[in-house]
Structure 1
Amino acid sequence: MTGGPVDDRTDHGLRELPATDRGVLVTGASRGIGRAIATAFAERGDRVAVHCTVRRADAERTLADLPGEGHILVSGDLTDPARVEALAAETEKALGGIDVLVNNAAVMVAHPLPSTSYADWQEAWRQTAAVNLFAPANLTHCVARHMITGRREGRVVNIGSRGAFRGEPDHPAYGATKAALHALGQSLAVSLAPHGIAVASVAPGFVATERVAGRLEGEEGERIRAQSPFGRVGTPQEVAAAVLHLASPAARWSSGTVLDVNGASHLRT
């Protein structure tokens, strides 16, 4: 039978996500995509924890520009498991609960194999894996356990990459760790569903941020824009819109998905 009313009750009597006023933790929110994501949640009435590791001045600007009230600034090295655990607890208390976690913080260290020494190769992999994979894995564990203990529905959205599918020849550790992050999200989508927690990932293509502004100039910029049939690159706001959707109550059934946000610059089959 179709066309009947939809039963939107949660399983096991969990508290549903509210339409607004959720507690949201966004890692790496000092600028770029993280700043756009934090702003998008604040604009819809959520309370946002703006995380930074080193760019505190930029994070303070992000925080100051957020609309609404109840936002906080949190800092800490996400590669330190003890700090991650404390950060999750501090944010949980300050926001009155974390309903949404966005794992956005990442590093991209150039290390093309033909021109990279073995020592530098190992260091690039160590640093990239620590930030892009182990940090979100640890933080998701800590935040999800708070959600489970509080018997609250929750959302986790990971910021992956198109590079997980098309390869990153100059940044192989980045492509590999983003692929692993997608796989982690899908594993946790199955594991956490009985607890009312949905997990999904966004895989952006090239996005115009402060970090890559120089690459969008001259001939290189023309080549990058030509990757998409739209003839341009993405914006942080377009990535934020995808995150906002996947974190919404309506997107519960999209748990486990990896959503491409790349302007048709890479099509998967």
Structure 2
Amino acid sequence: MTGSRSAIITGGFGQIGDAIATELLESGLVDQIWCLDSRVPDVGTDPRVRYIQVDLSGEQEMEQVRAQLPDRICMLINAVGGERRPSVAAVQDKSWPPSAVWDDITVLNMGLPYRVTERLHDRIEDGGTICNISSIAAGMPWVVSPAYGAAKAALEHWGKSLAVVLAPRGIRVNAVRPGFVWSRQWAEVSRQEFDEVVRDRVPLAQVSTGERVSKEQTPGDIAKVVAFLCSSAAKHLTGQTLDVDGGAALARAPR
């Protein structure tokens, strides 16, 4: 597609990645998207979105995929992250996960975004954007999964350093911190507990046509902020992190 604007989304098979793809396309910021993920796609079939199942940690696999990607991209969105279910080893004490679990979580949430970005940064156009999906866990104690919080904090720190490195090329690097978004991982816990967490820990009321509505954040809410950060409206924003959490990080440590 001559003159097309292309984006790459890592972790693009998940709900947040899929919502970001939809928002970027519908807002006209890009014309085509490549989604990279190790999971089996369970999202839409928009012809403008190409889904590539790949082990992002595999050197040979990534080299093969690199050959399939466009030579020039305007956006790289790192939405890969979370925690493997089931974990690579049994966790008896959440405060002290086995080293194998700690390493797996930190690689997934910090190592993979770095590895993909290191391989593709030379394809990002001058004036392009990178946006990393972090978590409110990065900014507060997260005792139910200290490896996750630590990895997201590292992701944000690296993002700030990367913003300085790429600033001479006009490439902006920012991050978004989702709060409580219903996800596969929450589904493995319970909807009731999720609703209780949102009710108790999200202080900002949501009102529509005069009525109070759900306070949970949706993948679409996250996607809209990502699209803003990748648009010309945010042309002077780099090295920044935006919380999309309904004020949860302001009230108290959620975990």
TM-score by length of 2: 0.82
Specify the alignment match of 1:127 in structure 2: 104
Any conservation in 2 of the 1:88–1:139 contact (CA below 8 Å)?
Answer: no
* Alignment match of 1:54 (pick from 15, 18, 39): 39
User: Which has the higher mean CA deviation after the structures are superposed, 133-142 or 213-222?
Assistant: 213-222
Query: Which deviates further from its counterpart, 201-210 or 154-163?
Result: 201-210
Determine if the alignment matches structure 1 residue 211 to structure 2 residue 188. Answer: no
Q: Is the aligned partner of 1:74 residue 2:52?
A: yes
**Runs (5+) with no aligned partner, structure 2:** 206-213
The answer for the alignment partner of 2:83 in structure 1 is 108
RMSD, aligned CA = 2.6
Q: Say whether the 8 Å CA contact 2:186–2:194 is kept in structure 1.
A: no
From 65, 81, 92, the counterpart of 1:87: 65
Q: Which residue of 1 aligns with 2:130?
A: 156
Q: By percentage of residues, which structure has more strand?
A: 2
What is the alpha-carbon distance in structure 2 between the residues aligned to residue 117 and residue 223 of structure 1? 20
What is the distance in 1 between the residues matched to 2:16 and 2:118? Answer: 23
Could you say which residue in structure 2 is the equivalent of 1:187?
161
Q: Distance in 2 between matches of 1:48 and 1:117?
A: 39
Counting only pairs closer than 5 Å after superposition, residues 1-269 of structure 1 correspond to structure 2 as 21-45=4-28, 46=30, 47-56=32-41, 58=42, 61-62=43-44, 64=45, 66=46, 69-93=47-71, 97-108=72-83, 115=93, 121-147=98-124, 152-213=126-187, 215=189, 217-219=191-193, 221-229=195-203, 230=205, 232-267=215-250
TM-score by length of 1: 0.78
* Structure ranking higher in helix proportion: 1
Cα shift at 1:116: 5.8
Task: Measure, in 2, the Cα distance between the counterparts of 1:215 and 1:71.
Answer: 31
What letter corresponds to residue 80 of structure 2 in structure 1? Answer: A
Query: What percent identity do the matched residue pairs reach?
Result: 31
Q: Is the 8 A contact 1:216 1:222 kept in 2?
A: no
Counterpart position of 2:210: none
- Give the aligned length: 235
| Distance across 1 between alignment mates of 2:154 and 2:56 | 17
